[in-house]
Structure 1
Amino acid sequence: MSTEQDRLRALAAEQGAALGALLAERGADYDIHPLSYAQRRLWVLTELHPRTAAYNVPYAFRVVGPLDVSALERALQGLTRRHESLRTVYFATDGEPWQAVLPELAPAFRIDDHPEVVGADERQSFAADRAAEEAVLPFDLYTGPLLRMRVIRFDPDDAVLLFTMHHIVCDGWSMQVFFGDLESGYRAELGTGPAVSDLPATRYVDFARWQRDWLTSEVSDELASYWTEQLAGAPSVIELPADRPRPALPQMRGGIKRFTWPAGLADRITDFAQREQTTPFAVLLAGFAVLLHRYTGQDDIVVGAPVANRTRMATEDVVGFFVNMLPMRCRIMPATTFRQLVRQVAETVLTAQVHQELPFEILVDRLRRNSDAAHHPLFQVVCALHDEQLEQLRLPGLSVQWIPSHSETAKFDLSLSFSRGPHSLRGWLEYDSALFDEESMAAALGHLQRLLEATTADPDSPVATVPLLSAEEERQLLYGCNDTALAVPDDRLAYELIEERADLQPDAIAVSCGATRLTYRQLDEAANRLAHHLSARGLGPERIVGILLDRSVDLAVCTLAIWKSGAAYLPLDPANPQDRLQFIVKDARVELVLTRTDLADRLPDGVTTLCLDTTPGLDAGPSGRPPRTTGPANLAYVIYTSGSTGRPKGVMIPHRGLRNLVNAISAVLAPTRGDRILQFASFAFDASVYDLTLCLTSGAELVFAPREQLQPGPDLVETLRRNAITMVLLPPTAAALMDPTDVPGVRTLVLGGEACPPELVGSWSAGRALFNAYGPTEASVITTMTRLFRTEHRISIGCPLPNYDVYVLDEWMQPTPVGVPGELYIGGIGLARGYLQRPGLTAERFVPDPFSGKPGARLYRTGDIVRYRADAQLEFVRRADGQVKIRGLRIELGEIQVVLSQLAGVRTSLVATRECGPADVRLVAYLVPEQGAASDPVTLRRALREVLPEYMIPAHFVVVDGIPQTPNGKVDYAALARIDLAVPEETATTPPDTDLERGIAEIWQEVLGVRRVGRHDNFFDLGGNSLLITKVRARLEQRLRTRLTTLTLFRHPTVHDLAANLSAVGPTDGAVTGGTAGADRSALRAEGRRALAERSRRRRTGTDGE
């Protein structure tokens, strides 16, 4: 007995006994051998997916003529005796896989007679169905056999042959050997040919042993060094534009799309390859790399390519799994021509083949690229070229025709295979159907064909500008999706529509804030009096008037008054830092600010103010409407948004964009005079323009509320209910913190300001109209919109509103194919003039429109990466730059970084976002301190709050030795995402002291995602914000038998202070402690629910004491 046979004794008892019985049944003599490296990887993958058919190798043939089935079966049995791989089974002991070569193992052979199937079409369909069934039947590596043959016989002269093998025993070259030997064996069985020759000179198991021994030599080190150098800095993942999110683990479901290209294209590819003294494969691989580059925007592409790996003649006639996968790296610069790329790829392919013997599995281990379960290591796309003569079956006296078959699985994201004949080129694209739709793959193949037609015709053009789209595709993307022209009925401005409402319904309530209410007549007359006062001061068209007021009906009065005077308004948020307010007022060259005496001192010296609460005579002026002095082209408002230079920038919107917004949104949402619309957004953001104009031009009531009543969660719910709000625009993060059943009166909810999570759609779309809106400030608030329904899985941002044009373009301003991301460009009458006092930035972001044909037409570059869906709706993908939106607020990460870098002790910084849970995206600052400097998060936050508004303060500060980079010098965001956001040890110096403190600290740890919380730690300094504090409050109310308000948590932001306050309020029946038993926790939660109900009752009856 061999040494390998001794290893059988080491098998686990159950497996060993079963294998022993199997071997005893099939013969006393057998060999046990180690697996080759390729087999080991396939073994592991099969163990992970034991019932998968992904590694089946199916073939189907239609055979016409007198087939001798018995002779064919004997020939097949002869093949199993000749080729050991076909009578091998596989097992493992202590996790180590082995292969046992059996002396006899008959292939699974089956004959099915179906004379009832008649007619050529019926038989063809029946054969295709049976081939598909057979292809997906899995193998059992442990029991074998790993070769099946099924004969479907319609009549003696018409049959279908179905062959299926497992990939662990064969490869593409093996099929050439297999079919050749089957033909020879069949001839011999018929007596028309010689007997099959002796066994191959080399056994596959000998190759596996040789490979293991050889890899201990210096040659393998040289190969590894080549590949390590070749792949240094190469990306591990290609970001393909998938139709669905990638699952955490591969599903291995696959589809296939077959194609045949014109003979003329096949000949041009061959001729071009000959002129460049390379192979057609190099040309095809270069074309595929260009397509991937254009689809992903990546300039460094790695594509897998199979090589036979039969560098020794002794292996050429062996059936076995020799094939090796080689990573082909293609670097594509913007100016690279196709000829240059083909030469680069040809060199890459040539040197890769010279170094092909290093097993892929060893390379993966050497490069440590095997830790991501969701992606195939090193590459996720494959390109292969086969000679169509290699895998053809020929049987004497018979006509044999290949039938396409597929296992409905996929081993890679994309696997592109070509089969080349003398003057033909056909192929198939196998794709992961968990990621891609068939329509997307068909389009991709069309783009590849057009790309190769163009590049082989003109190989010296840059690949970045080679056309991918057909004329019809381009027409549809540029013009079909932008058929939005809608005439504006007249030239009245938005404020004049509000005046019309005052005439139609003078006694209806227009605006309210708590007990303060103004009818449409009162609003109009108050605005008229103030407008006359402003005009008397010389204010008029193109002059800018600031508004610095808390939330109240005065905001509406002042806005309308400024418009009536002909001037434009600039909203200023009192909650912003004084430094920011002063910069905006100076930068905008504001001539007058409408404010109140308690806010005026926040403005810079020398600014003229008009204090509404102290200026005499404001209520005594004429109440008639002043004459109109402005037109659609005049400035309506200026809103400052976050700027990448460290300072905000002012966006100038003319009246025509505002009027178009009113017309477009009113047509979609159809508000009526019975609606009550909440003014939720900060007055300094453009969503407030939407709230005011949509509401007051439709005759509805605009409801203002104090800031503290708009905190997402219970406070906002109470505000919506108390004010009977029917329509509201909210950021998704605010909606995510509410239960839709708590606000049944909200019949229309518009989500906007940030990406909408799919889970919100299911909960909020029932029983109300749910919309998703998108638009930058530079395009008058909202540009695209869509209605969302419960069935939505991929959230769309909709189609363009009337009189807007939207284009999805690459960096060369060419339209990208459907499904392929590109930058969103917006055109139309809603565009801003540009940026106040920033002509250079205006020219950079507002560019000439090459598509409209209108003189002077412009496009705004949004910096948002989007893509078109097949239904012509747009889908948001990501930002192209450092700008993000959190809780609906636009933030330039660069602005925060500039400020951080100016702080003492900070050498460099980087600000990024981190998704910490559903609808919970936070800002994280990564800091590299100066030598010897301490970067205390508390001090940093205090310093930032002097300059930046609260929503721009990072939730977490992480000190790092350096900003991690990828090998090619880019920021390694994946490495940043792996850094723990836990609080540094020194910030949690004093542990909580009481059960109540420990319970509060535990809740903070859960909500903030930190490891330790000290009794004197500040909630906000640990990364808390107004949204997270509502989570804390909810959990405290669930566990405490007392009522809490958000204000209490704001006033007592440390564990110690909050616990002291709660203790002072009165004893509770149950303290929040981390060790409460399950039954006790349930009781506490029940009590918490009762407390919330009581709190809601008190608020409704006005008896809530706090």
Structure 2
Amino acid sequence: MGEYVEEYPVSSAQKRMYMLHHMNPKVTVYNMPLILIVEGKLDYGQLERAFHSLVMRHESLRTRFVTVDGEPVQQIEEDAPFAVSYASGTEEEARGWADSFVRPFDLQLAPLFRAGVMTISPDRHLLAIDMHHIIADGVTVSILVQEFNALYHGAELAPLRIQYKDFAVWQNARMESGAYKTKEAYWMGQLAGELPVLQLPADKPRPAVQSFAGDVVEAAAGRELRQKLELLAQESGATLFMVLLAAYQTLLSHYTGQEDIIVGSPIAGRPHADLKKIAGMFVNTLALRGYPQRNKTFRDFVNEMKETALSAYEHQEVPFEALVEKLGAPRDANRNPLFDTMFVLQNTESAELVMEGLTFCPYQQKRTIAKFDLTLQAEEKNGGLQFAWEYSTELFERTTIERWTNHWLKLLEQVAADPEIRLGEIDLLTETEKAELLMTYNDPGKDYPNDKTVHQLFEEQAERTPEKTAIVFGSEKLTYRELNNRANQLACILCENGVKPDMIIGLTAERSPETIVSILGILKAGGAYVPIDPSHPEERIQFILADCKANMLITQQKLKKKLLDSQTVINLGQIKWDDSGESSNLISSATPANLAYVIYTSGTTGRPKGVMVEHRSIAHNLLWHAGEYGLTSGDTFLQLGAYTFDASILSTFSSLLTGAAVSMAPEHEAKDPNAVSRIIAADKVTHLCCPPSFFTLLLDSMTPEKALSLHTVIMGGERLPEKMVSRSKREYPFIELVNEYGPTESTVTSSVQRDVQPGKKITIGRPIPGTCMYIVNEKDNLLPIGVAGELCISGRGLARGYVNQPELTAEKFTRMHPANGCTRRGISRGGCLTGTSNFSGGSTSR
């Protein structure tokens, strides 16, 4: 370690850099390497003299950093031990040498600057320099390149009047002045209130600690687009930077739905002429806050960002690091303070090495580093604009950023052509992406027919497997023949009581085979059933019966009083079932277009809504379900859900259309994990449908031996916890976990994710065949993948609408935008599409 004269305070920027380095001393994220290919005869003697002269000329290159009394200070060595390193090797070895050259610095050891040469042949070399950001910035690199060029040729340079330490001392004193306090107050006003946290739609969960792993995607805009953007800037009295900044904030707003956004942008931080030739960390970062509200025109927003930028320049003296400290901004290990995205317009000329007999060109070294979630760098080049998107690979896939670059160029073209366009009217989608959303994501797949009623499909199966067990309920069993006979008996009774197509029949009963008999009997008679939980308050029961005009009620017990004066009550306990022989199926008057059932939703956002579902919708869904999971007569599906929820329909009737058995848990056992575990073992259950929360409890009760027959668990209605998925696959690797999604209005299941695995993103999967899903904005225009908006579902599973609520039906069941390529009605729910769907928003689960 060399000698030093004395110690000096660090600048605000150096203090933060020092803190960041000590949080991650082994990373190279704040290294500033430059590696060049040199062709020609390189004079090593001149090279070393030039480097030594630079080190002696700039005190920053001889500075080390230590802590004194708990505060970092800088110490300047009179003669720091500096030497150029040399190596030789082949072209193949050059890559490894270049990668190993960039390594961590110890801030206590000067110089924080190194240089090296690798000779590949007498006329071909790699020249590398590297320095820590705490002693340098981008302008410093240009200064050193220019001066090295002169010193290599033996030129004498004029002495520097001041050094970086002088700036650091001045800045520390300046921060106590009244003028500084005034500028500080400006920033406190700009960043007052709750600071927005940018919620970009990431492909991966945010890690607990920021890793800085990154990559770059490049794109370019041609000369014509650049000229249009510059003309827009001139018309607004702005600069190209201001126009691009407004466009970038607009893009971010489209992705996040946020209308309060902070973007960071660097500024040279060298306002005085004496500072322009000094090596050091001068660069400051400006926190530029914008409000890209959707009703503003782009021109108006440019004017706003112009004023924001001009005011920021005027008050740029306040160091970003000091501002963060003053604001008390959170310092999370996985985020940057104040903002997570940067915008940079590179308008400083890069210094070039020009030496007699030597040619230099950049060595293409891939540095996989991203200091922020996303940084957009723009550069005026070859008459056009070159863009580089630096992104965190911990958060984003490369395909996502490539898609965003196309959106960026599309946005620039639109605002350049029509500056009066409102921000909310900008369409980011390219024609290729629209086709992908319309055709690729919504792949129709195998088509399932919907030209028969549910009871017709069951009758066909009963004819194929009459003596196969259809229902298991403890020790009680019903064959397909017995189940069909009982349903026919009840259907005859209902027809005698005047049941006709689309007539709604109330059904309130406890879980038993009679529940399934009742449903089939109602359908065979041509009616539609409305399930009512007998445990619900009488007020709710009365509301449902009155709302859907159910003048007939099927129940297992005599009611103490009629809930409606005109109501016919059929008591299942009074029917003497005849299971002998075979009964003839009724000639049903119901068609696939008639109602099969009405299910009332919880009514948490208002009065309960009765959703009307037709035979063709549920038949299509049942046949898909049976085919998707390959149900056969050898399977047993455990039915746990209340029949008042539509999920119970699939677990019951997809089995009964394929010859599989339905195992019904008695009411008192359906919610008991220990009892359910025993039923799985006793009935050799192969398929189970339940909420994730119940399956989590079931994992505590099951054993691999008891669950040996179980190979498919279908879940929905709640988010699947990652811990539950990991545990299940660890303890029961033979069980496939499935995530299904679908609102009641689209008949149980709209999309599915098969084979959910630990470490794999849990989504609601892809639309089932015959179903289309789109994310649209308030104008029904398609939104890009990953962008939050309204989820619209259309297709064969769509319900008819809501009982007695034509206005609500018209609002929720709307004709979709023709651009979406779908003329069927769609229902709207909050969400965002991510290739396989992942949802944010309030209407994502039933």
TM-score, length-normalised on structure 1? 0.73
| Corresponding residue number in structure 2 for 1:196 | 157
Q: 1:793 to 1:274 in 2, by over 3 A?
A: same
What count of residue pairs does the alignment treat as equivalent? Answer: 838
Q: 1:845 to 1:133 in 2, by over 3 A?
A: farther
1:913-935 residue CA offsets vs partner (Å, 9 max, x unmatched): xxxxxxxxxxxxxxxxxxxxxxx
1:663-689 residue CA offsets vs partner (Å, 9 max, x unmatched): 211111011112111111111101011
| Contact 1:389/1:421 (8 A) holds in 2 | no
Residue among 98, 103, 106 paired with 1:140: 106
1:839-885 residue CA offsets vs partner (Å, 9 max, x unmatched): 2222222221224888952111133x13223xxx22x232x23x464
Residue among 704, 721, 730 paired with 2:690: 730
Separation in 1, partners of 2:624, 2:459: 19
1:509-556 residue CA offsets vs partner (Å, 9 max, x unmatched): 212322222211111111111111111211211111111111101110
Separation in 1, partners of 2:287, 2:366: 25
Q: Which amino acid aligns with 1:866?
A: C
Residue among 14, 35, 39 paired with 1:60: 35
Separation in 2, partners of 1:826, 1:677: 28
Separation in 2, partners of 1:233, 1:131: 47
Residue among 47, 56, 65 paired with 2:22: 47
Residue 70 of structure 1 and its aligned partner are, at CA, apart by 2.2
| Contact 1:541/1:566 (8 A) holds in 2 | yes
Residue 616 of structure 1 and its aligned partner are, at CA, apart by 6.1
| Contact 1:307/1:326 (8 A) holds in 2 | yes
Residue among 806, 812, 817 paired with 1:850: 817
Residue among 769, 791, 795 paired with 2:736: 769
Q: Which amino acid aligns with 2:565?
A: G
Q: 1:580 to 1:235 in 2, by over 3 A?
A: farther
Q: Which amino acid aligns with 2:417?
A: A
Separation in 1, partners of 2:680, 2:542: 34
| Corresponding residue number in structure 2 for 1:302 | 262
Matches within 5 A, 1:453-468: 453-468=413-428
Q: 1:225 to 1:696 in 2, by over 3 A?
A: same
| Corresponding residue number in structure 1 for 2:129 | 163
Q: Which amino acid aligns with 2:839?
A: V
Separation in 2, partners of 1:753, 1:72: 70
Residue 630 of structure 1 and its aligned partner are, at CA, apart by 1.3
Q: Does 1:744 align with 2:703?
A: no
| Contact 2:452/2:616 (8 A) holds in 1 | no
Q: Which moved more, 1:291-300 or 1:589-598?
A: 589-598
Q: Which moved more, 1:651-660 or 1:589-598?
A: 589-598
Secondary structure at 2:434 match in 1: helix
Secondary structure at 1:317 match in 2: coil
Secondary structure at 2:33 match in 1: strand
Q: Which amino acid aligns with 1:524?
A: N
Q: Which amino acid aligns with 2:71?
A: E
Matches within 5 A, 1:230-249: 230-233=190-193, 235-249=195-209
Q: Does 1:836 align with 2:803?
A: yes
Greater relative CO, 1 or 2 (CA 8 Å, sep 6+): 2
1:331-374 residue CA offsets vs partner (Å, 9 max, x unmatched): 11112222222221111111111111111122212222124332
| Contact 2:551/2:564 (8 A) holds in 1 | no
Q: Does 1:586 align with 2:546?
A: yes
Q: 1:251 to 1:547 in 2, by over 3 A?
A: same
Residue among 238, 242, 250 paired with 1:282: 242
Q: 1:223 to 1:580 in 2, by over 3 A?
A: farther
Q: Does 1:331 align with 2:331?
A: no
Separation in 1, partners of 2:331, 2:535: 47
| Corresponding residue number in structure 2 for 1:986 | none
1:742-768 residue CA offsets vs partner (Å, 9 max, x unmatched): 422212211222222334444445213
Separation in 1, partners of 2:399, 2:60: 39
Separation in 1, partners of 2:785, 2:688: 33
Q: 1:404 to 1:729 in 2, by over 3 A?
A: same
Unmatched runs of 5 consecutive residues or more in structure 2? none
Residue among 402, 413, 422 paired with 2:362: 402
Q: 1:439 to 1:73 in 2, by over 3 A?
A: farther
| Corresponding residue number in structure 2 for 1:604 | 563
TM-score, length-normalised on structure 2? 0.94
Separation in 1, partners of 2:208, 2:458: 53
Q: 1:867 to 1:129 in 2, by over 3 A?
A: farther
Secondary structure at 1:401 match in 2: strand
| Corresponding residue number in structure 1 for 2:384 | 424
| Contact 1:43/1:97 (8 A) holds in 2 | yes
Q: Does 1:252 align with 2:212?
A: yes
Residue 623 of structure 1 and its aligned partner are, at CA, apart by 4.1
Q: Does 1:273 align with 2:233?
A: yes
| Corresponding residue number in structure 1 for 2:791 | 824
Separation in 1, partners of 2:400, 2:210: 19
Q: Which amino acid aligns with 1:197?
A: A
| Contact 1:53/1:407 (8 A) holds in 2 | no
| Contact 1:529/1:620 (8 A) holds in 2 | no
Secondary structure at 2:153 match in 1: helix
| Contact 1:677/1:726 (8 A) holds in 2 | yes
1:786-820 residue CA offsets vs partner (Å, 9 max, x unmatched): 32154651123222211111113333333333343
Separation in 1, partners of 2:446, 2:219: 43
Separation in 1, partners of 2:724, 2:135: 49
Residue 64 of structure 1 and its aligned partner are, at CA, apart by 2.6
Q: 1:718 to 1:204 in 2, by over 3 A?
A: same
Residue among 369, 389, 412 paired with 2:372: 412
Residue among 654, 661, 678 paired with 1:701: 661
| Corresponding residue number in structure 2 for 1:215 | 175
Residue among 85, 106, 109 paired with 2:84: 109
Unmatched runs of 5 consecutive residues or more in structure 1? 1-21, 189-193, 891-1106
Q: Which amino acid aligns with 2:135?
A: V
| Contact 1:108/1:147 (8 A) holds in 2 | no
| Corresponding residue number in structure 1 for 2:452 | 492
Matches within 5 A, 1:750-789: 750-765=714-729, 766-788=733-755
Residue 563 of structure 1 and its aligned partner are, at CA, apart by 0.5
Residue among 150, 162, 175 paired with 2:141: 175
Residue 613 of structure 1 and its aligned partner are, at CA, apart by 4.5
Separation in 2, partners of 1:59, 1:712: 66
Separation in 2, partners of 1:609, 1:248: 62
Percent of matched pairs sharing the same residue? 34
Residue among 507, 512, 521 paired with 2:472: 512
| Corresponding residue number in structure 2 for 1:1024 | none
1:771-795 residue CA offsets vs partner (Å, 9 max, x unmatched): 2211111111011123215465112
Secondary structure at 1:594 match in 2: strand
Residue 823 of structure 1 and its aligned partner are, at CA, apart by 3.1
Q: 1:867 to 1:645 in 2, by over 3 A?
A: closer
Separation in 2, partners of 1:630, 1:83: 92
Q: 1:421 to 1:671 in 2, by over 3 A?
A: closer
| Corresponding residue number in structure 2 for 1:646 | 606
Q: 1:288 to 1:686 in 2, by over 3 A?
A: same
Secondary structure at 1:788 match in 2: coil
Q: 1:393 to 1:267 in 2, by over 3 A?
A: farther
| Contact 2:32/2:130 (8 A) holds in 1 | yes
Q: 1:396 to 1:606 in 2, by over 3 A?
A: farther
Matches within 5 A, 1:72-91: 72-91=47-66
| Contact 2:756/2:762 (8 A) holds in 1 | no
Separation in 2, partners of 1:707, 1:248: 44
Aligned-CA RMSD value: 2.4
Separation in 2, partners of 1:426, 1:854: 35
